[in-house]
Chains A and B, each alone.
Chain A
């Protein structure tokens, strides 16, 4: 296994009297795609948000390259660890503006043509209004906008759950492609095990806010796949 890019130790998070994360440990190796799976309410999205500190864990620690993220400036951390959400929320009057939102805030430059090419969109789209694009295209723009900050890792929170079959496939291919070409470390939250089989190198299973194991893909599907399937189906 590669050295861990991200390491999660004993992570807890409580909100409104409920413990959403009740002790999560996970390793995300550098340059691999790690899937976080579990039933809805298992704490998958919360775990993702704790990694780039969109939320503050009540206890436990997340390490980025061995350094506790609690010691990093949260804005800098979020630039190093990008995030793509279920629903793409694009800012600006044009695709180009949307692409450069984060880079501009950071005072950096980025090439919109190259960014669109990386995610497989036609660069001629740069002048169009973001809302004129299909949701699948918007999602690819939101991936490109995260890439504009040249992140070391990318978190994807159920990035295909709002998409149709064709668009879903394209995002999955994009994930594989970005990993292969850029060596980008990625964490993808999914409740679809067939998707996990297509995109992930490793799997982290969550149950009721706790880690329930971590495997390489092959090992996961040969030893824990059935259990995970029942766990997810029972709660959906």
Chain B
């Protein structure tokens, strides 16, 4: 435990990053730059959030917690919208989806008294909900975009037979939602056998009772399943409109042709 008290020794784990960079160089994956950016950003962001959380703990204000979570949602929406690039209104769609997913799940946990309304619970759990919902949102959004482009002839065939845009796009939505949810469903199925989830690992290392760690981890898993489903479904239902006109036509510029 002593070793982890200093930032210096944490930096020694950069050696492991070097392995990833070496692999990228050796296999010409062209990911070195992205890995570098990711490493620097993660360090700066984690250090900053550490201070922010410490500061908010000191404030003991639930308003400050809500503000921080709202900021996380906007940052998640920005990241996801950038990933989805050219999808119109992506930022708004993801912000709404992730925001609703986080509010609904955290709100339910609070209402049921599963967690207390304190910064110590809300910030880390909120971060997990928002992060996972963001990933699901990005996956759903990019998948829909790619499939709408690749399956343009199928969409046109369905529309020409009198299908609404919703009916025409429904097989694409279905695949996108499956792809977004399957990783978490699989992780939930295998949890405890193949890997110990992060929250539980952290609590056990920090000296908590393993059974208490399990209790929290179960809450986390179910919370994530709920929020990721909400986020993916909302993104799917809200975003497909971007590819069609109200007259059930594929929008100009959607095709890669």
Contact = CB atoms under 8 A, between A and B. Distances in A.
A associates with B: yes
Given A53-B247, A87-B153, A15 B252 contact: yes
Interface stretch (A27-35, A75-83, A163-171, A172-180): A75-83
A54 B156 contact: yes
B163 interface: yes
Interface in B68-118: none
Given A54-B156, A85-B156, A85-B157, A75 B253 contact: no
Contacts of A56: 245, 247, 249
A83 B155 CA distance: 13
B161 A85 contact: no
A101 B249 contact: no
Interface string B161-176: 1111001000100000
A142 B158 CA distance: 11
Nearest to A78: B162
Contacts of A101: 158, 161, 163
Contacts of B162: 75-76, 78-79, 102, 105-106, 149
A52 B236 CA distance: 27
Nearest to A75: B162
Contacts of A146: 160-161
B241 interface: no
A55 interface: yes
A89 interface: yes
Contacts of A89: 153-154, 157-158
Nearest to B171: A91
Interface in B118-170: 153-154, 156-164, 167
A83 B158 CA distance: 10
B255 to A, nearest CB: 9
A52 B154 CA distance: 16
B179 interface: no
Contacts of A105: 161-163, 167
B159 A54 contact: yes
10 contacts: A15-B253, A16-B253, A53-B247, A54-B250, A74-B247, A75-B162, A79-B161, A85-B160, A87-B153, A89-B153
Given A56-B247, A102-B161, A142-B157, 17 more contacts: A15-B252, A16-B253, A52-B160, A53-B249, A54-B156, A74-B249, A75-B248, A76-B162, A82-B160, A85-B156, A85-B157, A89-B153, A91-B157, A101-B163, A105-B167, A149-B161, A149-B162
A-B pairs, 10 with minimum CB distance: A102-B161, A83-B160, A89-B157, A89-B154, A79-B162, A74-B247, A75-B162, A78-B162, A15-B252, A102-B162
